[in-house]
C-alpha cells in the first residue's frame, strides 16, 4: 500500500499537491502561533511553573507542538523529496512516535491530578508537588522512548549496516520492516492504552461520586468532571492514531483510486484536528490561565498595531531637545 501511494503521488496534479501542502502548512502555522503564545504566557508568570497542573499542561502543549511539526514535516517531505536517507528518516520517525505515545500518558497524569485535588484536597500539596510532577514526566519519557529504541535495535540486528545509508520513502513500515516489530508494538500499545483508559474511567467515576457526596452545584467539582471527560474525548482521538493505519489500508484497498484523498483526510482528522483540544481544555476553560493568556495576546496585538502605525524614520524626541 505504501508503494502504491508513492506511485500515486507521482501522477498527482501539481495544483492538488500545492493545495494540500499549503493547507497543511497554514494549519501548522496557526497552531504553532497558539502553542507558542501559551508557552510564552506560562514562562512569564511564576504562579504557573510552581503549579503541577500547569506544568503538565505546558508539557502537553510542547509535546503537541513538536508532534504537529514532525508530522507536517514528514507529510511535506513525502511530496518534495520523495525519498530521504534512512538514518534521517529514523530520527524523524522515532521522535514522532515518542510524541504520539506521550500524549495519552500525559492525559492520564492530568486526570489523576484533578482526581487528587477534588478527592484529597488536604493531601494535595504533599501528593502533587513539583519534584513528583517532574519525576512523572521523566517516567513518561522513559516509557514512551523504550518502544522506538527497541525498534531501532531490532532493525540494526536484522538489517545490513548499508541499509541506513540508502534512500527510502519515510514511512514506519518501510523503515522498521521486521514483522516482530509490528507484533511487539501491538502488545505495547494495547497494554498502555488500556491502562490510560482505565485511569481516566476511574478518576471520572471518583469525581462523580465526590460531586454527589458534596454538592452537585459545586463549581470546582463540575469543572474537574468536565475536564476529565474532555480528556477522555482527547484520548479517543489519540487512539485513532493507532487504529487508523488498519482502517486506512482497508479503505484504500476498496477505493484505490482515492488513496491520496483518504490519506489526506486521515492526516487532518488524526494528526491535525486533535491538536486544537489542548488550547480548548486549558487555554479557554481555565479561568486563571485564560486571564493571563488573553492579556498577553491583547498586549501583543496592541504593540504590533503601534509598530505598524509608527511612521518610517520616526525618532522619539528627547526631553529638553527642540527640533527645528
pLDDT, tens only, 116-136: 888 888 888 888 899 999 999
pLDDT, tens only, 57-97: 899 889 988 988 888 888 888 778 778 889 898 999 899 88
CB-CB neighbours of 203 under 10 Å: 26
pLDDT, tens only, 31-62: 888 888 888 888 888 888 888 988 998 998 89
> Quick one: DSSP state of residue 320?
T
Q: What is the dihedral of CA 19, 23, 24, 29, to 10 degrees?
A: 140
Pairing of strands 84-85, 167-168: antiparallel
pLDDT, tens only, 271-319: 777 777 666 666 777 788 888 888 887 876 555 555 555 554 444 444 4
Which pLDDT score is estimated for 303?
Answer: 56
138 falls in which pLDDT band (50, 70, 90)? very high
Which pLDDT score is estimated for 7?
Answer: 52
Which pLDDT score is estimated for 301?
Answer: 58
pLDDT, tens only, 13-27: 777 778 888 888 888
pLDDT, tens only, 194-212: 888 888 888 888 877 776 7
- H helices then E strands: how many in the chain? 12, 2
Domain limits, the chain: 14-292
pLDDT: which is higher, 186 or 304: 186
Please state the separation of Cα 4 from the chain's center in Å. 29
Residue 72 is placed in which grid cell?
507536517
The whole-number average pLDDT for the span 154-161 is 89
Please list, in sequence order, all residues whose beta carbon lies within 8 angstroms of the beta carbon of residue 256, skipping any fewer than 6 positions away.
4
Q: Which CATH class is domain 14-292?
A: mainly alpha
The whole-number average pLDDT for the span 241-249 is 70
Amino acid at each position: 500500500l505504501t508503494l502504491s501511494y508513492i506511485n500515486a503521488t507521482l501522477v498527482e496534479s501539481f495544483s492538488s499537491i500545492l493545495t494540500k501542502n499549503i493547507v497543511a502548512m497554514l494549519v501548522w502555522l496557526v497552531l504553532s502561533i497558539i502553542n507558542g503564545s501559551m508557552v510564552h504566557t506560562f514562562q512569564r508568570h511564576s504562579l504557573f511553573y510552581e503549579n503541577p497542573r500547569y506544568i503538565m499542561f505546558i508539557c502537553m502543549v510542547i509535546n503537541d507542538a513538536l508532534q504537529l511539526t514532525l508530522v507536517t514535516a514528514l507529510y511535506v517531505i513525502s511530496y518534495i523529496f520523495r525519498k530521504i536517507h534512512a538514518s534521517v528518516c529514523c530520527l524523524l520517525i522515532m521522535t514522532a512516535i515518542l510524541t504520539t505515545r506521550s500524549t495519552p500518558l500525559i492525559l492520564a497524569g492530568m486526570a489523576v491530578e484533578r482526581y487528587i485535588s477534588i478527592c484529597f484536597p488536604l493531601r494535595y500539596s504533599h501528593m502533587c508537588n513539583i519534584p513528583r510532577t517532574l519525576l512523572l514526566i521523566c517516567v513518561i519519557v522513559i516509557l514512551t522512548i523504550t518502544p522506538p529504541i527497541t525498534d531501532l535495535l531490532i532493525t540494526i540486528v536484522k538489517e545490513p549496516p548499508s541499509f541506513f545509508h540508502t534512500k527510502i520513502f519515510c514511512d514506519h513500515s518501510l523503515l522498521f520492516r521486521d514483522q516482530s516489530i509490528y507484533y511487539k508494538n501491538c502488545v505495547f500499545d494495547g497494554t498502555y492504552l488500556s491502562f490510560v483508559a482505565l485511569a481516566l474511567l476511574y478518576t471520572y467515576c471518583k469525581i462523580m461520586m465526590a460531586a454527589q457526596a458534596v454538592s452537585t452545584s459545586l463549581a470546582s467539582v463540575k469543572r474537574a468532571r468536565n475536564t476529565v471527560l474532555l480528556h477522555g474525548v482527547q484520548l479517543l482521538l489519540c487512539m485513532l492514531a493507532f487504529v487508523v493505519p488498519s482502517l486506512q489500508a482497508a479503505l484504500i484497498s476498496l477505493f484505490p483510486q482515492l488513496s491520496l484523498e483518504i490519506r489526506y483526510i486521515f492526516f487532518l482528522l488524526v494528526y491535525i484536528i486533535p491538536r486544537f483540544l489542548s488550547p480548548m481544555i486549558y487555554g479557554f476553560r481555565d479561568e486563571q490561565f485564560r486571564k493571563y493568556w488573553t492579556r498577553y495576546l491583547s498586549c501583543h496585538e496592541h504593540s504590533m498595531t503601534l509598530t505598524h502605525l509608527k511612521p518610517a524614520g520616526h525618532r522619539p524626541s528627547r526631553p529638553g531637545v527642540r527640533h527645528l
